[in-house]
Amino acid sequence: MITLIVCSYDGYSDCWNPFFTQLRKYFPESKNFDIILSTTTKSYQFEGLNIKTLTHGANAPWGQRLKNSLKEAKYDVVLPISEDYFLRSKVNFKWFSHLVNLMYANKEIDHIRLLRYRVSWKAESSNFKYLEKIKGITKHRFLLIPGLWKKNILDKYLKNYENVFMSEKISGYRSWIRKDGFYSITEKYVEKNGQLYDTWNSGYIFKGKWVPWGIEFLNKENLNIDYTLRGILVNEEMKKTRIASKMAIFKNPLSSFRSFSSVFILLIKSLFIKV
């Protein structure tokens, strides 16, 4: 059916038990999934789930880790997700399966976004129930929030040397040029049924710390999280960390130059051939 790729690294291994606990609780059908835990050096197992730990080495960049994980994925449709996107309500498996089947049956569907939140994008109606088509040029066209991908399409957007912040930003420009078929569940679906993959839109960790607005829910779930390991974000840090997140795309000037250059080269190439 699908391969679930949990994108992580050893420094976030304290999230693995909570993540898979919530997955097993709210998405019990995932016991039949091909699951890859993509990390750096540690191994891990969770009872009742078919998890393959894929280690890439301590210095492997985020982009390289995800690209290598795609190569190991058993199925052509994948769900890549960060380790702190804990589920908080049951996944509608009937509709989830319907969307997966749509992707296998329709060449024009390359990606389906499973989460709606305050970030907006331009879209138009589609021929598929409860799905809208994301327009070719719009802000937030490429997002790494929970979504289904055809693995060969996602692979074309990734660069080995990019971090997650750079990849999301620059791949947005790549998507303007490539114009692959990006879709999203509609607001009407969410109003009627609730979120399909219900998680906090930016995960429960922000710049290495637990977000304060998620603590009540996490405690209610009895996840036995030791918050002292990484601390809890305080409101005064929010503005500073938002700026730091934006600046992270320029953390490595050489990588930044390569990323922006790749967009320019893709644009030139698109003038002569279909990319």
Distance between CA atoms of 166 and 172, rounded to whole angstroms? 10
52-95 pLDDT, tens digit each: 999 999 999 999 999 999 999 999 999 999 999 999 999 999 99
Under DSSP, the state recorded for 212 is G
Whether the pLDDT of residue 147 is over 70: the answer is: yes
Instruction: Kindly list the domain boundaries of the chain, sorted by start residue.
Output: 3-202
170-212 pLDDT, tens digit each: 999 999 999 999 999 999 999 999 999 999 988 999 889 999 9
Please enumerate in sequence order all residues whose Cβ is within 8 A of that of 167, keeping only pairs 6 or more positions apart, or say none: 62, 63, 144, 157, 158, 159
Whether the pLDDT of residue 123 is over 80: the answer is: yes
96 within 8 A of 214, measured Cβ to Cβ: no
When pLDDT is averaged across residues 161-175 and rounded to a whole number, the result is: 93
pLDDT confidence band for 244 (50 / 70 / 90): low
Fold of the domain built from segment(s) 3-202: Spore Coat Polysaccharide Biosynthesis Protein SpsA; Chain A (3.90.550)
Q: Measuring CA to CA, which residue among 108, 106, 107, 96 is closest to residue 1?
A: 96
Q: Measuring CA to CA, which residue among 193, 183, 23, 17 is closest to residue 113?
A: 183
51 within 8 A of 44, measured Cβ to Cβ: yes
Whether the pLDDT of residue 236 is over 70: the answer is: no
Please enumerate in sequence order all residues whose Cβ is within 8 A of that of 157, keeping only pairs 6 or more positions apart, or say none: 142, 167, 171, 174, 175, 178
What pLDDT shows up at residue 238?
63
What pLDDT shows up at residue 260?
87
Q: What is the pTM of this model?
A: 0.93
5-26 pLDDT, tens digit each: 999 999 999 999 999 999 999 9
The two three-digit tokens of residue 64, written as one number = 């390289």
3-state SS, residue 30: helix
When pLDDT is averaged across residues 229-240 and rounded to a whole number, the result is: 78
Cα dihedral 64, 67, 71, 73 in deg (nearest 10): 120
Under DSSP, the state recorded for 196 is S
3-state SS, residue 174: helix
